[in-house]
């Protein structure tokens, strides 16, 4: 699969772009913009944009450093490209970028902070920025080392592709529920992929508690006539929030070896939305 996003995420949903495209076509939503309230790597929406299956995408992430990464790609693409080309991939540089990411210094530019998040994402195990640690470990032993996922030529290509579409990419850093509530729902297709319910606290800076997941369910219930697709790790607590008023469909994603491979996930949609009986991606167990 040709990856669209420069970021790596545990449970990233880039492989779902084809399935989402089918859902949009099946329900007559092809003219709707695509919005991701918890965008992360935004692989699905980017793929839909690059395939010209949507006119524009809205990328939102409450993590300030991730927002700054997307802001840099769409507002300072030349400067970001220069940083990508000149920055070494080494443990010394990893420590500098880690310290930058952790810094509360308000004098840091969006470009600097956004690049630090990108650097750690590409260098850390499974792309986990917060506490993943470098590929190969601190002592850099084993078959896979810190530069294993840092192919500068390929990453530059992805960043340049995004820059070409920057006039059709809108970036915000709002709370996810506020973002959903304030979009024009009459012309928006929401792809909502919140942090994992069960493992979120170990993977994401902005992990969500049960009360937040409950509030998100309440917001979506008030939008049951609108177009949204929600994905979660399959667990009892989430099923209880949506049982009876939404469609809950189990599915599976086949991730890379270093990421989560086992266990089912669920897709949740409003009752009116039609879902395809088959799909074409080898990465999805539908």
pLDDT digits (tens, 9 = 90+) for 11-46: 779 999 999 999 999 999 999 999 999 999 999 999
Asked whether residue 135 carries a pLDDT value surpassing 80, the answer given is yes
Confidence at residue 260, expressed as pLDDT on a 0 to 100 scale: 45
Helix spans in the chain (H): 17-26, 43-50, 64-75, 77-86, 91-102, 110-123, 152-164, 176-182, 200-203, 210-221, 236-242
Tell me the average pLDDT across 263-277.
Answer: 93
How many other CB atoms are found less than 10 A from the CB of residue 263? 11
Strands 188-192, 227-233: parallel, antiparallel or unpaired by DSSP?
parallel
Alpha-carbon distance values, 14 to 25, 56, 103, 281, 283 (Å):
18, 17, 30, 11, 10
Determine what percent of the chain is predicted with pLDDT higher than 70. 93
Helix spans in 143-227 (H): 152-164, 176-182, 200-203, 210-221
Tell me the average pLDDT across 103-109.
Answer: 94
The answer to which of 82-91, 133-142, 163-172, 261-270 has the lowest mean pLDDT is 261-270
From CA 52, how far away is CA 78, in angstroms rounded?
24
Based on DSSP, count helices (H) and strands (E) in the chain, helices before strands: 11, 8
Confidence at residue 182, expressed as pLDDT on a 0 to 100 scale: 96
Is 66:75 a contact under the CB 8 Å cutoff? no
Confidence at residue 255, expressed as pLDDT on a 0 to 100 scale: 61
Alpha-carbon distance values, 258 to 35, 41, 203, 233, 262 (Å):
28, 17, 14, 18, 12
Instruction: Reduce the DSSP state of residue 158 to 3 states and report it.
Output: helix
Is 150:36 a contact under the CB 8 Å cutoff? no
Asked whether residue 62 carries a pLDDT value surpassing 60, the answer given is yes
Domains along the chain? 10-62+174-286 (3.40.50.150), 76-167 (no CATH)
Asked whether residue 210 carries a pLDDT value surpassing 80, the answer given is yes
Confidence at residue 206, expressed as pLDDT on a 0 to 100 scale: 57
Confidence of residue 109 (pLDDT cuts 50, 70, 90): very high
Strands 169-172, 57-60: parallel, antiparallel or unpaired by DSSP?
parallel
Of the CA atoms within 13 Å of residue 126, those in its CB half-sphere come to: 17
Instruction: Reduce the DSSP state of residue 225 to 3 states and report it.
Output: coil
Is 207:246 a contact under the CB 8 Å cutoff? no
Determine what percent of the chain is predicted with pLDDT higher than 90. 83
Exposure string (b/e) for 130-164, b if CB count within 10 Å is 16 or more?
Answer: bebebbbeeeeeeeebbbbbbeeeebeebbeebbe
Q: Among residues 281, 189, 267, which one has the least CA distance to residue 2? A: 281
Asked whether residue 199 carries a pLDDT value surpassing 80, the answer given is no
Instruction: Reduce the DSSP state of residue 267 to 3 states and report it.
Output: strand
Confidence at residue 256, expressed as pLDDT on a 0 to 100 scale: 53
Q: Which two tokens stand for residue 78?
A: 């030349």
């Amino acid at each position: 699969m040709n990856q669209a996003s420069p970021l790596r995420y545990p449970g990233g949903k880039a492989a779902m772009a084809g399935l989402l495209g089918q859902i949009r076509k099946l329900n007559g939503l092809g003219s709707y913009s695509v919005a991701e309230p918890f965008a992360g790597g935004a692989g699905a929406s980017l793929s839909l944009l690059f395939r010209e299956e949507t006119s524009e995408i809205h990328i939102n992430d409450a993590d300030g450093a991730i927002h700054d990464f997307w802001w840099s790609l769409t507002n300072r693409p030349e400067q970001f490209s220069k940083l990508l080309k000149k920055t070494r991939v080494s443990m010394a540089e990893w420590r500098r970028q880690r310290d930058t990411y952790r810094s509360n210094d308000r004098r840091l530019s969006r470009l600097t902070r956004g690049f630090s998040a990108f650097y750690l994402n590409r260098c850390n195990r499974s792309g986990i920025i917060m506490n993943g640690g470098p590929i190969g470990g601190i002592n850099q032993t084993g078959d896979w080392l810190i530069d294993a996922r840092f192919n500068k030529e390929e990453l530059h290509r992805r960043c340049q592709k995004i820059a070409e579409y920057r006039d059709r990419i809108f970036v915000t850093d709002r709370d996810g529920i506020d973002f959903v509530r304030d979009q024009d729902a009459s012309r928006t297709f929401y792809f909502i992929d919140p942090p994992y319910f069960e493992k979120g606290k170990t993977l994401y800076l902005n992990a969500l508690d049960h009360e937040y997941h409950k509030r998100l369910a309440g917001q979506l219930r008030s939008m049951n006539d609108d177009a949204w697709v929600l994905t979660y790790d399959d667990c009892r607590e989430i099923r209880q929030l949506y049982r009876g008023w939404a469609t809950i469909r189990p599915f599976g994603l086949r991730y890379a070896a270093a990421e989560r491979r086992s266990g089912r996930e669920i897709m949740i949609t409003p009752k009116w939305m039609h879902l395809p009986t088959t799909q074409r991606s080898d990465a999805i167990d539908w």
